């Protein structure tokens, strides 16, 4: 007992033996980096609607891609965004160095580096920026920050040679790549083509809110899309899908829909967007929700409390349909005991918890096997 009792009497104490529920981390806050002729430069600015954006950064006439991307984000269901304006470069050859930025310390970072000061970002978008160096920097930023995911745009125009000539970003399990550009209405220019990343970030947010981050952001209507720069056939998508190029297609009577859900990773374990983003959310939630464990006595009591809290969190995910299996033991496990924490680990001041999850994966290929039934006889089993 930490309390000293010096005189006779009745003493009442509060004892903390309850669970410490883990809260699910956010999944749909988007960071936009782009160019605008007005508004603050290299200052991440939070906006929660289109009016707030226009008040700070102007409308469609003040930027080439940024305003349309943010409008499409909110139009498709997005609700939280940080805007980083790198300004309009005087020399196009210097554009890449505006985007990559510099680390001059807290509050003085520029470009993508400025997003390192903002903790609650989940998705990073550089609308319309197809330069390999910029896309590589966005992917590296998401990989280094661990809990972020990049949405990248394919070039607007296909070079001569067909869809098989579409350049693909480098291999990464922290990004997805979309093609083609979508046709939208611009009040100053009429119908124009815009990169799909802004609309896609809104689709991600919409699906997260309606179904959960475990649902693949595909087979979803793209709101505001009037047409497509290219109408891709099934045969052409047969070439693109295995490469991790997600196609947006127009279907008769079904509208313009996202028809791909792959990352740009060659690792089959991280093939699907929803799997990567589910793990991002779980890992961040566990990190945030177990900070109380630091400096606690590293013994069996602590191991049991940690196991209980994490198991309760994963149980909620399983009940929501985020994990595969007809029973919890098929969906996940949590191991924190003397086997994962032998004396040498404890002496090093470490607590090791082993967690396994079976994420649900999208039904990407739906196959119906149909055959003829025999006539005049029993149906074969």
CA proximity to 357, closest of 319, 316, 314: 314
CA proximity to 178, closest of 252, 122, 235, 228: 228
Contact 263, 172 (CB under 8 A): yes
Identify each DSSP E strand in the chain by its residue range. Answer: 30-34, 45-47, 81-85, 123-125, 149-153, 175-179, 182-186, 190-194, 227-228, 245-251, 255-258, 332-335, 354-357
CA proximity to 281, closest of 329, 328, 322: 322
Residue with token string 């291999």: 171
pLDDT tens digits for the chain (381 residues)?
Answer: 456 788 887 877 777 766 788 999 999 999 999 999 999 999 999 999 999 999 999 999 999 999 999 999 999 999 999 999 999 887 777 788 889 999 988 888 999 999 999 999 999 999 999 999 999 999 999 999 999 999 999 999 988 768 888 999 999 999 999 999 999 999 999 999 999 999 999 999 999 999 999 999 999 999 999 999 999 999 999 999 999 999 999 999 999 999 999 999 999 999 999 999 999 999 999 999 999 999 999 999 999 999 999 999 999 999 999 999 999 999 999 999 999 999 999 999 999 999 999 999 999 899 899 998 887 656 555
How would you classify residue 70: left for phi > 0, otherwise alpha for psi between -120 and 50, otherwise beta?
alpha
- Beta partners for 84? 33
In order of their start, the domains of the chain are 30-275 (3.40.50.11780), 290-373 (no CATH)
- CA–CA dist 226, 191 (Å, integer): 8
- CA–CA dist 208, 188 (Å, integer): 33
- Beta partners for 34? 85
- CA–CA dist 354, 340 (Å, integer): 7
């Amino acid at each position: 007992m930490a309390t000293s009792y010096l005189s006779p009497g009745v003493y009442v104490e509060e004892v903390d033996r309850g669970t410490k529920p883990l809260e699910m981390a956010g999944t749909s806050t988007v960071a936009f980096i782009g160019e605008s002729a007005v508004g603050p430069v290299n200052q991440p600015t939070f906006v929660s609607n289109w009016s707030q954006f226009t008040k700070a950064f102007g409308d469609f006439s003040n930027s080439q891609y940024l305003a349309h991307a943010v409008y499409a984000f909110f139009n498709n269901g997005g609700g939280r965004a940080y805007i980083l304006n790198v300004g309009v470069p005087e020399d196009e050859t210097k554009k890449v160095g505006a985007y990559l930025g510099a680390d001059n310390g807290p509050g003085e970072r520029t470009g993508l580096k400025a997003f390192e000061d903002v903790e609650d970002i989940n998705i990073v978008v550089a609308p319309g920026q197809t330069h390999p160096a910029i896309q590589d920097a966005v992917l590296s930023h998401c990989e280094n920050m661990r809990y972020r995911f990049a949405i990248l745009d394919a070039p607007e125009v296909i070079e001569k040679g067909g869809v098989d000539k579409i350049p693909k970003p480098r291999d990464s399990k922290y990004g997805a790549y979309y093609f083609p550009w979508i046709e939208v209405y611009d009040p100053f220019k009429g119908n124009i083509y815009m990169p799909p990343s802004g609309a896609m970030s809104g689709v991600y947010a919409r699906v997260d809110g309606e179904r959960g981050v475990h649902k693949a952001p595909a087979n979803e209507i793209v709101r505001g899309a009037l047409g497509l720069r290219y109408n891709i056939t099934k045969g052409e998508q047969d070439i693109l899908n295995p490469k991790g190029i997600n196609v947006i297609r127009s279907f008769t009577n079904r509208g313009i829909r996202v028809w791909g859900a792959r990352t740009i990773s060659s690792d089959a374990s991280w093939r699907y967007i929803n799997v990567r983003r589910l793990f991002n959310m779980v890992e961040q939630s566990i990190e945030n929700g177990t900070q109380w464990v630091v400096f606690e006595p590293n013994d069996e009591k602590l191991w049991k409390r940690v196991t209980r809290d994490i198991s309760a969190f994963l149980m909620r995910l399983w009940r929501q349909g985020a994990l595969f299996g007809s029973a919890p033991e098929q969906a996940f496990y949590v191991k924190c005991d003397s086997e994962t924490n032998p004396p040498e680990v404890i002496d090093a001041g470490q607590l090791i918890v082993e967690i396994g999850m079976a994420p649900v994966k999208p039904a990407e290929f739906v196959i119906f096997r149909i055959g003829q039934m025999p006539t005049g006889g029993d149906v074969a089993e």
